[in-house]
Structure 1
Amino acid sequence: MKDSTQTVQSVERALRIMECFTLEKPQQTLGELAAQTNLSKSTIYRLLATLARCGYIKQDDVTQKYSLGFKLFNLGAVVAGNMSLRDTALPFMKKLCDELSETVDLNIIESGQRVCIEMVESSEQIRNIVKVGQRNALWVGASGKILLAHLEETERCRILEDANKLHQLPVEIGVLEKELDVIRSQGYVLAIDDRLKGSFAIASPIFNHIGKLIGGVTAAGPIHRLSEERRPFIIHSVMFTAYKISEAMGNSDVNSHYPMLKRL
């Protein structure tokens, strides 16, 4: 942000209050928070009431002191989990990019959408460009479909039914589910001219130590670099990269998730 006029004052004040809580002093009184933030007690009280209602602050019934709520713990766990995945995956992604000379990106599901959380860009003059933070529907493109296919059934059905009610799906649910069945059985998805015309994308899922889907890795490039001779090599390379990332994330049953690796 360029200047303070672009900030929301109440949000800024609420964040200042939460930053007062530390490991050394996890509980604070209303007066202590007022002294540290230079805000009036009435202002702080209103902000604390809002934060408490949303689960970000809690108040001890006996001491009347305030402390951080468990909602922040949940959000921190999401950040920590994603950062761990990014840190673990990045070396493998760089290696895959070097091998294929194609752009490689790492994606997760967040709020029912596919979100790119890391990217290694191809050095080729003609290349796919993916922006970190970019969001897309799960039923479009290789990166989204690989995540949608490996979601737990109840969650997948909920997302598809909601999208169907809003007339967002490009095909009927039954047709899409058959496509997702094939994707699950082979452990990868190949998309051509799907989200971006003139390009291809190949994606494979990533699983954690308990076998739960946590993300997907994708290699993408212009269609003229996807020859029939080169296609099996790219598919194998992407799947093997997903395999190695899952293994590094502690998955001990990694072979069961990538049945096609032995055939390629």
Structure 2
Amino acid sequence: MIQSIERALHILECIANAGGALRLQQIAEVTQLKATTAHNILKTLTALGYVRRRHSDTRYYLGDRILNLARIAGDDSGLRRRLRPRLEAMAEASGETVFLAVPSGDEVFFLDAIESPQTLRASSQQGERTPMEGSAIGLLFLAFMPMLRQQLLSLHASRIGPGIVGEVDRIAARGYALDEENYLPGVNAVAVPWLEDGELRAGFGVAGPSVRLSSSRLETLAALMTRLCQD
């Protein structure tokens, strides 16, 4: 076996078994590694996005990339069932097409959706996958998953321009994403994050014709959806 890989995986397992967070000294004690050795491995895991630190917190947490892998291997149907009542509430309140999406590798996967009953409406895209950059929900994921953003910027810099980077920064600051006919002509959308223990697990979106979803309506829906996510 390759010792460095074995030690790194042991550290990840220790953090997971402890509920998702451990301090350096605790990690060193459980893995029986020197603190300097454990720290060096954690630096590499942090750089790769498999562990992360939070502001003013000395503990190490499981990072975006490993949580994303866990979601891909996990129970999507369970998440869909658990969040369906919130999706239904958003559909009733907005009258537009609503959807639940999750990050899947470097793509957006549309896990669930309810189409608007109106004749002129946005399609649901349920079961489809789309690139992360461009759509409101994809930019939302990039804003709330820094390591995923860094990974995509390094791998696909040619298709992710400075305009997208600036918009991602604005989304992170205000807490939700807006799309006014950027992704699809004639269609506007808004997306808000679903967070658990401070980590993004999924995103909710509302999309519809731009003639109905004005800028002010999008802002109103953002506030409503955020409130439904917090109830």
TM-score by length of 1: 0.57
Please list every run of 5 or more consecutive structure 1 residues that lacks an aligned counterpart in the other structure: 1-73, 245-264
Quote the residue 2:226 is aligned against. 239
Quote the residue 2:135 is aligned against. 141
For the 8 Å contact 2:87–2:99, the answer to whether it is kept is yes
How far 1:76 sits from its partner (Å)? 8.8
For the 8 Å contact 2:91–2:114, the answer to whether it is kept is yes
Decide which structure has the larger Cα Rg and report it.
1
Quote the residue 1:177 is aligned against. 165
Please list every run of 5 or more consecutive structure 2 residues that lacks an aligned counterpart in the other structure: 1-68
Distance 2:132 2:78 in 1: 23
Alignment of structure 1 residues 181-196 onto 2, 5 Å: 181-196=169-184
User: Which residue of 155, 176, 184 corresponds with 2:148?
Assistant: 155
How far 1:77 sits from its partner (Å)? 7.7
Distance 1:224 1:102 in 2: 12
Quote the residue 1:86 is aligned against. 80
Instruction: State how many pairs are aligned.
Output: 163
Alignment of structure 1 residues 50-69 onto 2, 5 Å: none
User: Which residue of 108, 118, 124 corresponds with 1:130?
Assistant: 124
Distance 1:78 1:190 in 2: 30
- Letter in structure 2 aligned against 1:85: L
- Letter in structure 2 aligned against 1:90: R
How far 1:156 sits from its partner (Å)? 1.6
The runs of at least 4 consecutive aligned structure 1 residues that moved more than 6 Å come to: 74-77
- Letter in structure 2 aligned against 1:241: L
How far 1:229 sits from its partner (Å)? 4.9
How far 1:100 sits from its partner (Å)? 0.9
Distance 1:185 1:121, change over 3 A: same
Distance 2:155 2:114 in 1: 33
Quote the residue 2:213 is aligned against. 226
For the 8 Å contact 1:203–1:239, the answer to whether it is kept is no
Secondary structure in structure 1 of the residue aligned to 2:93: helix
CA RMSD of aligned residues (A): 2.0
Secondary structure in structure 2 of the residue aligned to 1:224: coil
User: Which residue of 116, 121, 144 corresponds with 2:115?
Assistant: 121
Quote the residue 1:212 is aligned against. 199
For residues 33-66 of structure 1, give each alpha carbon's deviation from its aligned partner in whole angstroms, at most 9, with x where no partner exists.
Answer: xxxxxxxxxxxxxxxxxxxxxxxxxxxxxxxxxx
For residues 132-169 of structure 1, give each alpha carbon's deviation from its aligned partner in whole angstroms, at most 9, with x where no partner exists.
Answer: 22111111111111111100x233211121011xx322
Distance 1:155 1:187, change over 3 A: same
- Letter in structure 2 aligned against 1:176: I
TM-score by length of 2: 0.65
- Letter in structure 1 aligned against 2:120: I
How far 1:117 sits from its partner (Å)? 0.5
Quote the residue 2:99 is aligned against. 105
Distance 1:75 1:225, change over 3 A: same
Could you tell me the percent identity over the aligned residues? 24
